[in-house]
Amino acid sequence: MEEMIRKALAGVAGMDYAEARVHRGRGTSVSYVGKELETIGQSTALGGCVRVLVNGAWGFCSFNDVADMPRFVRMARDQARLIGGGSARLAPAAPQSGHFAAAPQEDPAKVSLAEKEALCRRYNDILRAASPKIQTSSARYMDSAGSVIFVNSEGAAIEQEVAFCGVSLSAIAMEGSNVQTGRYGVGDLRGFQICRHLEGQCEEAARQAVDLLAAKPVEAGKYTVLCDPHLTGVFVHEAFGHLSEADFIYEHDRLKEMMKLGRRFGVEQLSIVDDATMPSEAGSYRFDSEGVPSRKTYLLREGRLTGRLHSRETAALMGEAPTGNARAISYGHEPIVRMSNTYMEPRDCPFERMLAETPDGLYAKGFLGGQTDMEMFSFSSEEAFRVRNGKLAERVRDVVLTGNVFYTLEHIDAIGNDLKMYGGLGGCGKGGQSPLRVADGGPHIRIRDVVIGGQ
């Protein structure tokens, strides 16, 4: 296949640069909703795409007929010629080659569809039977496996395999008009074993939903907030990570001013990282969709802005080095700048001490939903507790954290020692490409003066 792609690219004249990706894949999906088996099936896919640069303009073509690739290379070249006179150029990247196999501990492809269905059914039964207040439930399993071959006109020839799987569980409890949700999810590259033995997590998700029925809405105001590692990760990804994607920065003059390298954003203990080289996390990979090796990139280091995420094109436009963050969710899409595994580095404060040194505040856990608009954010936690005299007190609900990301980073005054990473089936969305495999995480943190919406 690599030789066929190489010949197709070499056989078309008049291109400044050309690259092709061929994707082979298979997947499984099983989902129960309430009493019903809603989805069960397996699928396969084979297709490719070509991207061509001519005189600063891109041409792109995706296809399923891999054997007719030379025709699609010509089509992409002709598109670029018609556009003409663009500003696109590529930062240099040494061409890479090799075959890189997936290495799950337990290969999901070797587990039968019947076993995957039975697993989902068992989890769904546990969720539904946990309490009479549980009105409905959901148990979903998904896996995807395959390979991507990347070849470009500079001499790169890479084949990398992937094997992803995960489970998503949720329980919805109801009492009159009061409706609450508890959930749990896992998904990464470790193997099918991560989907086994989640009976306890089913029971915990159902308990959370039922317990939230009795919780009182939080009183609106400013609080000192302790965030669990899950909420820390979501904050890092949504509120800061997207601001660090170079295509977003380049397109916004105001953001260019805000995100100047060297600017201080927080205490010296604060560091935020994007790292696709982490073993087996949901956002891990060896090479991005432009054939650039993955790497660890410090976005914030010791409180100062030190880096951002790049494709080869954004790196050239901004005079910086590629970071291996050009990613496409399928052969039907061009690569754009995306995160991988994004997290806040841990420090040395145990959660127990952080809690004991907080006389009054909130402890917020998990992520229910939210939105961002430039540097402004609004996030809802899954569950929360009041903190009184250094101890967890009553449960509260409807906790919505809002604010400015830069102000919030400056008001982090304690960073925990308990880094945890979270993947899952949801993924990240941007530019019409969703869901993209990513992970985020961090330790417990404490933030002063957080605006909390509520009653």
18 touches 52 (CB < 8 A): yes
| pLDDT tens per residue, range 381-408 | 999 999 999 999 999 999 999 999 999 9
Strand ranges in 251-346 using DSSP code E only, listed in sequence order: 272-275, 296-301, 304-305, 326-327, 336-337, 341-344
343 touches 272 (CB < 8 A): yes
pLDDT for residue 454: 61
Kindly tell me the burial class for residue 394, based on how many C-beta atoms sit within 10 Å of its own C-beta (0-12, 13-18, 19 or more): exposed
Domain ranges for the chain: 2-214, 217-453
The CATH superfamily assigned to 2-214 is: PmbA/TldD superfamily (3.30.2290.10)
Q: Which two tokens stand for residue 215?
A: 């919780």
pLDDT tens, residue order, the chain (455 aa): 999 999 999 999 999 999 999 999 999 999 999 999 999 999 999 999 999 999 999 999 999 999 999 999 999 999 999 998 889 999 999 999 999 999 999 999 999 999 999 999 999 999 999 999 999 999 999 999 999 999 999 999 999 999 999 999 999 999 999 999 999 999 999 999 999 999 999 999 999 999 999 999 999 999 999 999 999 999 999 999 999 999 999 999 999 999 999 999 999 999 999 999 999 999 999 999 999 999 999 999 999 999 999 999 999 999 999 999 999 999 999 999 999 999 999 999 999 999 999 999 999 999 998 889 999 999 999 999 999 999 999 999 999 999 999 999 999 999 999 999 999 999 999 999 999 999 999 999 999 999 998 65
**Residue 288 DSSP label:** -
| pLDDT tens per residue, range 142-158 | 999 999 999 999 999 99
The predicted model scores a pTM of 0.96
